[in-house]
Amino acid sequence: MMEKRKLRIGVIGCGAISVRRHLPEYAGRADVEIAAIYNRTRAKAEAVAERYGGRVCGSVEELVSMDLDAVSVCTANTAHAHDSILALRAGKHVLCEKPMDVTIENCEAMVREAEKAGKLLMIAQNQRFSSAHVKARELVEQGAIGRIISFETKFGHSGPERWTGTEDTWFFRKSAAGMGALADLGIHKTDLIHYLTGEAVTSVYARTATLDKRYPGGGLIDVEDNAWCIYAMDSGMTGTMHVSWTDYGQEYNSFVLHGTKGSIRCYDDREYSLIMETDDGKTDFLSTEGMLTNADQTIGTGKDQHSGVIDEFVECIQGTRPCRCSGREALKAMRVIFAALRSSADGRLEQIPENRV
């Protein structure tokens, strides 16, 4: 029997998310070969190649011109569309880190190029793959807590400078990141709202603020370090989201769904990450794999850091499962994030008519 050919993967960018997730999870699969690496700082790419193999490329263009099946895009937010579109036009499947990009026009262009090329564009919304969230979705679909009425979600930690290793991280610069905590954390929870409820946000009222994060010189950073959003769907379902880079101490990651027959609570608890309470007075403490915290995935905590993102991407390419977070699916959450920024700037409710189906 002929041995199945390995998928040849190129990785663009060698920052923390690349080194902690993409590269080790690809390397952990017997059906994948890391064939090409690019980073603006060549020494980083060379160090990665020494550990994982692969040709070190001098440019994104050189990498996508190679005989590759797929590419991971792990660059700064403002480069996501550029690098993804180059790869798609070169006939490669693309796994792009979140957020898709920093303008809605670029996000839409990414989706168009993927569909034109007939290639998979997947966005790395890893919170969809948490066992607690997968179980919560199953319970919602089974009607375990009735019709969802409202939700609340919070995601906060002490800031990206803690795991990038520099107080002057690119996350703090609008020229590289485009936005702050909304792009880093808010996109996770907004996408998760869509995944767990089965509905898309169609209006938002938001406030963003820069309260504490500063450049080494002392001035406040030029992107938001906190954001508060009130989200609503056409069904009437309404909820809140708070994301923060100023939660000093233990990271906080939660999602609560309230239905007509009970509630589901998802927390980053190591023992019970999902609790279901129903109107008959019953409480179920469900022991699932603890959620991966930001620290697990960026600085390493000794916990198994397997996110499921790479498995999903590889198996979608192989045709063994459908993609749970395609570019078109992720586009719905990006529309909400951009609407939240407009709402904060204008001080008014913003509608998202494109999310109405």
**Annotated domain spans of the chain:** 7-123, 130-314+325-355
Select the CATH number that applies to the domain covering 7-123 from these four: 3.30.365.10, 3.40.50.720, 3.30.450.40, 3.90.320.10: 3.40.50.720
Task: Give 66: exposed, middle or buried? Use CB within 10 Å, 0-12, 13-18, 19+.
Answer: middle
The per-residue pLDDT string of the chain (357 residues; one tens digit each, 9 = 90 and over) reads 446 789 999 999 999 999 999 999 999 999 999 999 999 999 999 999 999 999 999 999 999 999 999 999 999 999 999 999 999 999 999 999 999 999 999 999 999 999 999 999 999 999 999 999 999 999 999 999 999 999 999 999 999 998 888 888 999 999 999 999 999 999 999 999 999 999 999 999 999 999 999 999 999 999 999 999 999 999 999 999 999 999 999 899 999 999 999 999 999 887 889 999 999 999 999 867 655 555 555 444 444 567 899 999 999 999 999 999 999 999 999 999 999 999 999 999 999 999 997
Give 320's contacts (C-beta < 8 A, 6+ positions apart): none
Q: Are 135 and 341 in contact (CB under 8 A)?
A: no
Structure tokens at 281: 């007075």
Buried b (16+ CB within 10 A) or exposed e, 299-328: eeeeeebbbbbbebbbebbeeeeebbbbbb
Query: Which fold would CATH assign to domain 130-314+325-355?
Result: Dihydrodipicolinate Reductase; domain 2 (3.30.360)
Instruction: Provide the sign of the torsion angle of the four alpha carbons 63, 120, 155, 105, taken in this order.
Output: positive
Phi and psi, residue 3, nearest 5°: -70, 135
pTM for the whole thing?
A: 0.93
Structure tokens at 272: 């019970």
- Among this protein's residues, is 98 annotated catalytic? yes
H or E element that contains 148 = strand 148-156
Q: Are strands 32-38 and 203-209 parallel, antiparallel or unpaired?
A: unpaired
Structure tokens at 53: 């193999």
Question: How many CB atoms within 10 Å of residue 258?
Answer: 18
Q: pLDDT at position 265, please? A: 97
Q: How far apart are CA 74 and CA 205, in angstroms?
A: 31
Q: pLDDT at position 302, please? A: 42
Catalytic residue among 98, 119, 154, 332: 98
Give 212's contacts (C-beta < 8 A, 6+ positions apart): 225, 246
Q: pLDDT at position 301, please? A: 40
| Among candidate residues 151, 345, 180, 156, the one with its CA nearest the CA of residue 240 | 151
Coarse DSSP helix, strand, coil percentages of the chain, rounded to the nearest 5 percent: 40, 25, 40
